[in-house]
């Protein structure tokens, strides 16, 4: 379906005295502007009605009806002649519906109208940005960001999370068995610990109430879904995690072997057993089929809880790496705020994000962003692939298969996090200075130089938690514009 943008032109009647000048042909200018928009954004449906020249009830009502049906608005101020009704009408229309709105002024044409509107409305917490320039080409960056944001509308985010703490031990042991010979020889204490937990009927701690920083949505699931759809147009769909095993058990071992061999051949180093990697490949094929069947491009399984309770037969990290090549995306730990941040960044940059924890070195002004899942297509589908190793999953250290991806040293990294409940976004940037190899923590570790003192000062744990989503490149301005168009409060943590 085409996204709908309503365009409103604000100015003076042709033969009234005022800017741009007496007799200025509004109709010609409007036709030229609409032609430009339709040629450059042919996948968008643009609507337009009567030009607003005063507080004309019929003209205002006609525009109101079209705004109600639209996904976004562009207001062009193209003239003025002192009638306060022109400003009143514009304010009424901008306030009508909380949708992304661009207020665009042409220099020496609508400056008076533009300034009166913007200075009146700028503190009203609306999803609006203002831009003023001499020609329509100068607005292209803002137009493009506005149009791209609308691509999120209608996206379906698939969530797999369990509320059942009971453990399926057969599946738990499937995680251990591919590495069992090594474990018995090198880590007999771990083998005995698992056996003891099983015999005693113990369970692991799992979060079902939103205590974990990744599970904000669990605090009020229905309100979260409502807010997510209202701001971003994203639909959160929660399905039964048990279906993952149903899909997994149907995967052809031969098909999985082809995937596993490709991963092994492309990796610069491989540590886990081939059986561990084979199981990860089976999970990839299962998840890909599930996403296709559910007509979803992105999902967020609560992998930690599901691994601890036996609802995942393999770590999903390699599956997430490969899904990016299918233009499907996975975000770990059912972190819906990260999923939203990921989609926001992916939509605006065409690059996948790196969902991660972070560690601060305050003595050196360094941040390490680290996790056990990272795409090796850091520049997007058309970019070069990054080198990676296949290692054990970080915290478990002797289980699972995870990619350790090398980031491009010298590039900027833009890191964000959206709080859906609080309608906020945190933004920071830094320069990539190294890739770290350290057994502690997660396996992909990118070292960034940034303003750590300022970040700590501006850090809001309750809103943003620990996880962040990073994109290669300096995207600060793009993300700020996008956030304003969505009506998000912006915290630039490093300023």
**Rounded Cα–Cα distance for residues 435 and 410 (Å):** 11
Q: What is the pLDDT of residues 287-331, one digit of tens each?
A: 999 999 999 999 999 998 898 888 898 999 999 999 999 999 999
Beta strands at 424-435 and 412-419: parallel, antiparallel or unpaired: antiparallel
Same domain, yes or no, for 109 and 176? no
CB 311 within 8 A of CB 241: yes
Same domain, yes or no, for 210 and 355? yes
Averaged pLDDT for residues 396-406: 92
Q: Is the pLDDT of residue 93 over 80?
A: yes
pLDDT at 308 (0 to 100): 84
Q: Which domain holds residue 59?
A: 3-152
Confidence of residue 263 (pLDDT cuts 50, 70, 90): very high
Q: What is the pLDDT of residues 427-471, one digit of tens each?
A: 999 999 999 999 999 999 999 999 999 999 999 999 999 999 999
CB 309 within 8 A of CB 168: yes
Same domain, yes or no, for 327 and 189? yes
* Burial class for 79, CB neighbours closer than 10 Å (0-12, 13-18, 19+): buried
pLDDT at 209 (0 to 100): 81
Same domain, yes or no, for 20 and 80? yes
pLDDT at 260 (0 to 100): 98
Confidence of residue 183 (pLDDT cuts 50, 70, 90): confident
pLDDT at 207 (0 to 100): 80
Same domain, yes or no, for 162 and 134? no
Beta strands at 72-77 and 3-10: parallel, antiparallel or unpaired: parallel
pLDDT at 182 (0 to 100): 83
Q: What is the pLDDT of residues 134-156, one digit of tens each?
A: 999 999 999 999 999 999 999 99
Q: What is the pLDDT of residues 3-44, one digit of tens each?
A: 999 999 999 999 999 999 999 999 999 999 999 999 999 999
Q: Is the pLDDT of residue 208 over 80?
A: no
Confidence of residue 191 (pLDDT cuts 50, 70, 90): confident
Confidence of residue 334 (pLDDT cuts 50, 70, 90): very high
Confidence of residue 184 (pLDDT cuts 50, 70, 90): confident
Averaged pLDDT for residues 169-182: 79
Q: Torsions phi, psi of 53, nearest 5?
A: -120, -10
Same domain, yes or no, for 227 and 316? yes
More confident residue, 396 or 412: 412
**Rounded Cα–Cα distance for residues 56 and 68 (Å):** 18
**In this structure, what token pair is assigned to residue 68?**
């109600």
- Nearest CA to 386 out of 444, 459, 302 is that of 444
The domain that contains 141 carries what CATH number?
Answer: 3.40.50.2300
Peptide bond before 20: cis, by omega within 30 degrees of 0?
A: yes
Q: What is the pLDDT of residues 373-390, one digit of tens each?
A: 999 999 999 899 999 999
H helix or E strand, kind and range, residue 157: strand 156-160
pLDDT at 174 (0 to 100): 78
Averaged pLDDT for residues 80-90: 95
pLDDT at 11 (0 to 100): 97
Same domain, yes or no, for 251 and 326? yes
C-alpha pair distances (Å), 1 with each of 17, 43, 156, 252, 382: 43, 9, 15, 36, 26
Confidence of residue 193 (pLDDT cuts 50, 70, 90): confident
Same domain, yes or no, for 82 and 109? yes
pLDDT at 230 (0 to 100): 96
Q: What is the pLDDT of residues 196-206, one digit of tens each?
A: 777 777 667 77
Q: Could you give the angle at which helices 274-293 and 242-249 cross, rounded to 10 degrees? A: 110
Residue finishing a domain among 95, 126, 152: 152
Residue finishing a domain among 95, 123, 152: 152
pLDDT at 155 (0 to 100): 96
Confidence of residue 194 (pLDDT cuts 50, 70, 90): confident
Residue finishing a domain among 152, 169, 191: 152
3-class secondary structure, 92: helix
C-alpha pair distances (Å), 227 with each of 148, 186, 223, 336: 20, 49, 6, 12
- Nearest CA to 73 out of 52, 97, 102 is that of 102
Same domain, yes or no, for 9 and 119? yes
**Rounded Cα–Cα distance for residues 125 and 484 (Å):** 9
Same domain, yes or no, for 132 and 71? yes
**In this structure, what token pair is assigned to residue 33?**
């502007």
Start-to-end Cα distance in the chain: 40
Q: Is the pLDDT of residue 130 over 90?
A: yes
Q: What is the pLDDT of residues 335-371, one digit of tens each?
A: 999 999 999 999 999 999 999 999 999 999 999 999 9
pLDDT at 164 (0 to 100): 84
Count of domains forming the chain? 2
Same domain, yes or no, for 129 and 84? yes
Strands, E assignment, 274-423: 298-301, 329-330, 354-361, 366-371, 388-391, 402-405, 412-419
Same domain, yes or no, for 164 and 143? no
């Amino acid at each position: 379906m085409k996204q709908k943008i309503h365009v409103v032109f604000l100015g003076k009647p042709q033969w009234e005295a005022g800017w741009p000048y007496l007799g200025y042909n509004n109709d010609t200018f409007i036709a030229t502007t609409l032609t430009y928009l339709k040629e450059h954004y042919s996948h968008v449906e643009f609507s337009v009605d009567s030009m607003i020249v005063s507080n004309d009830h019929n003209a205002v009502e006609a525009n109101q009806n079209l705004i109600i049906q639209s996904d976004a608005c562009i207001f062009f101020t193209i003239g003025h002649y002192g009638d306060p009704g022109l400003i009143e009408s514009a304010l009424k229309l901008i306030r009508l519906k909380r949708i992304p709105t661009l207020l665009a002024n042409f220099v020496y044409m609508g400056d008076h109208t533009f300034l009166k509107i913007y200075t009146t409305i700028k503190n009203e917490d609306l999803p609006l940005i203002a831009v003023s320039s001499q020609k329509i080409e100068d607005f292209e960056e803002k137009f493009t960001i506005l149009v791209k944001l609308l691509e999120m509308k209608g996206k379906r985010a698939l969530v797999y999370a369990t509320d059942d703490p009971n453990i399926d031990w057969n599946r738990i042991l499937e995680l251990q068995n591919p590495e069992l010979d090594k474990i018995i020889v090198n880590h007999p204490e771990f083998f005995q610990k698992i056996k003891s937990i099983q015999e005693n009927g113990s369970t692991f701690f799992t979060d079902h109430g939103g205590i974990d920083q990744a599970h904000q949505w669990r605090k009020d699931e229905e309100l979260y879904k409502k807010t997510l759809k209202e701001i971003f147009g994203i639909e959160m769909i929660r399905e039964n995690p048990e279906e993952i095993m149903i899909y997994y058990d149907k995967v052809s071992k031969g098909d999985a072997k082809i995937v596993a061999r490709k991963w092994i051949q492309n990796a610069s180093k491989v540590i886990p057993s081939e059986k561990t990697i084979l199981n990860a490949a089976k999970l990839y094929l299962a998840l890909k089929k599930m996403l296709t069947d559910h007509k979803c491009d992105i999902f967020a399984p609560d992998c930690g809880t599901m691994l601890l309770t036996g609802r995942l037969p393999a770590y999903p990290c390699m599956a997430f790496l490969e899904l990016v090549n299918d233009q499907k995306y996975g975000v770990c730990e059912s972190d819906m705020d990260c999923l939203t941040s990921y989609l926001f960044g992916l939509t605006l940059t065409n690059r996948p994000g790196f969902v991660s924890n972070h560690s601060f070195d305050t003595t050196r002004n360094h941040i390490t962003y680290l996790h056990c899942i990272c795409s090796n297509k850091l520049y997007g589908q058309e970019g070069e692939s990054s080198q990676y190793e296949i290692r054990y999953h970080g915290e478990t250290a002797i289980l699972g298969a995870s990619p350790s991806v090398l980031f491009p040293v010298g590039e900027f990294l833009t890191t964000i996090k959206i709080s859906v409940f609080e309608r906020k976004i945190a933004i920071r940037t830094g320069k990539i200075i190294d890739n770290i190899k350290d057994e502690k923590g997660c396996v992909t570790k990118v070292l960034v130089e940034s303003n750590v003192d300022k970040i700590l000062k501006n850090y809001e744990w309750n809103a943003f938690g620990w996880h962040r989503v990073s994109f290669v490149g300096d995207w600060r301005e793009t993300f700020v514009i996008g956030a304003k168009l969505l009506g998000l409060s912006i915290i630039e943590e490093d300023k």
